[in-house]
Structure 1
Amino acid sequence: MKKILLSIFVVSLVACKKESSKPADHKVDSTTQTTVQTSNPSQTIITREEIIKEANDEVLKTLKNKDYKRFAEFIHPEKGVRFSMYAFVDPKEDKQFSKTDFEKYQPTKTLFTWGSYDGSGDPYRATINDYLGKWVFSKDFTASQFSLDKFQGGGNSLNNLEKTYPKLNFTENYIKGTEKNGEMDWKTLRFVFEEFKGKYYLVGVINDQWTI
């Protein structure tokens, strides 16, 4: 009888060890390498594209609503965000803000030089609010065509996004040009995202359009 009880105890102990050694349920999307921890086997997998698309749409919403305090929450906590007037990104000349400086100057009337107009070469000076409202969100990009890590629009301006931000994800929000203007009046707004502590933050905001 003692041998039987001892055998039952050993079997139970081994079963418990095997059960406790099982990892938590998780799902991996092999395409995007995004892992989602879940205790529910039927939970929907969230892909990297969906996460970045959601961040992209939230940023567009803040710009449309002129909710720049909310916009600041998407600025990379350590690297800040760089604004480029055209497709060519110039790390030395383009205006860059840390999250702290953006929040400091956004409510003010302080003028900043954001770059130069293509063609005339005249400097473009504006407050943060005016730059975001009149240049960055010059059209309603919430109604644009979305793409991830893929260019839809392109003109005669050198596009060095991938060289400047290697291995980072970028989104493009493209508005097609009109037939009236030979589709030359297209515009696109690109966001460059970098992951930091499990969240995607903005490190680059780039406008692109046909230039002279």
Structure 2
Amino acid sequence: MKKLIYTMLITLLASCTKEKPNSQPAQNNSADVPVTGSLKSVREQTKENILKNLNSEIISYLKSNDYTRFSQFIHPHKGIRFSMYAYVQPEKDKHFSREDFNRYISMPTKFTWGEKDGTGDLLVVSLQNYLQQWVFKRDFTQAQFYLNEFKGKGNSLNNLLKIYPNADFTENYIPGSEKYSGMDWNSLRFVFEEFQGKYYLVALINDEWTV
């Protein structure tokens, strides 16, 4: 009997000397979790930042005539299409693979890009002259930036969403002046498609008021 009582005392003392559990509440990591906005909105915000940065880079390379770096943004498989106006014409607009772009950019070879609105005159110039005289006809580094939104709206048809239904596009918009009742606006749009986790150019589209 004494042995049993002794054993019970030993057990009771051992349980009393055990370390007490931590009574402090678990650390609140809610600061690391976005308070507002869904996961989709976070992804959209990330994509917007990526495309905005790409847009700025491309604009800067066009302004500085750095076509070697510009060509790195051309889609490696689909190449790039150039449209003089908002209405994209896949059967007529000039299209270049990345390799062809790099081949012709420093050559005097002339291409027929399309008809000028109002006169119907054909625009026949080299690839480099087209980029300098038509694509970058205004200083688009000073333009307003828009993502997947058309700011420049004229009286010409705009079929970008039909031709590129799954693409994202940026718009660089320069508003018109009071002198011409705002009709001398210009837009330069970059159409992007994702490939292997990166965004590449598949089209450059100029837009302006047409008659």
Give the fraction of aligned pairs with identical amino acids, expressed as a percent. Answer: 55
Does the 8 Å contact 1:170/1:192 carry over to 2? yes
How far, CA to CA, are the matches of 2:107 and 2:171 in structure 1?
A: 30
Measure how far apart 1:145 and its partner are. 0.5
1:61 paired to 2:60: yes
Letter in 2 for 1:162: L
1:75-130 Cα distance to aligned partner (Å, 9 max, x none) = 00000000000000000000000000000111100001111111221211111111
Larger radius of gyration: 2
Q: What one-letter code is carried by the residue in structure 1 that aligns with 2:182?
A: E
Query: Structure 1 residues 84 and 174, CA, compared in 2 at 3 Å: closer, same or farther?
Result: same
Query: Once the two structures are superposed, what CA deviation does each residue of 1:9-40 show, in whole Å capped at 9, x if it has no partner?
Result: xxxxxxxxxxxxxxxxxx99421636xxxxxx
SS in 2 for 1:134: helix
Match of 1:73 in 2: 72
1:144 Cα deviation from its structure 2 partner: 0.5
TM-score when normalising by structure 1: 0.80
Counterpart AA for 1:70 = R
Aligned to 2:204: 205
1:122 partner letter: D
Structure 1 unaligned residues grouped into runs of 5+: 1-26, 35-45
Contact 1:32 1:49 in 2 (8 A): no
Give the TM-score of the pair, scaled to structure 2. 0.80
Segments of 5+ residues of structure 2 without an aligned counterpart are: 1-33
2:41 maps to a residue whose letter is: T
| Counterpart code for 1:83 | F
CA RMSD of aligned residues (A): 1.8
Per mean C-alpha deviation after superposition, the further-off stretch among 112-121 and 167-176 is 112-121
How far has the Cα of 1:67 moved from its partner? 0.6
Give distance in 2, aligned partners of 1:167 and 1:29: 21
Distance in 2 separating the partners of 1:32 and 1:89: 32
* Regions of 4+ moved over 2 Å: none
1:15 alignment counterpart: none
1:30 maps to 2:40: yes
**Which amino acid letter does the alignment assign opposite residue 136 of structure 2?**
F
User: What is residue 159 of structure 1 aligned with on the other side?
Assistant: 158
Partner of 2:84: 85
Correspondence list, 1:85-164, <5 A: 85-164=84-163
Measure the CA separation in 1 of the matches of 2:85 and 2:140: 16
Q: What is the aligned partner in structure 1 of residue 49 from structure 2?
A: 50
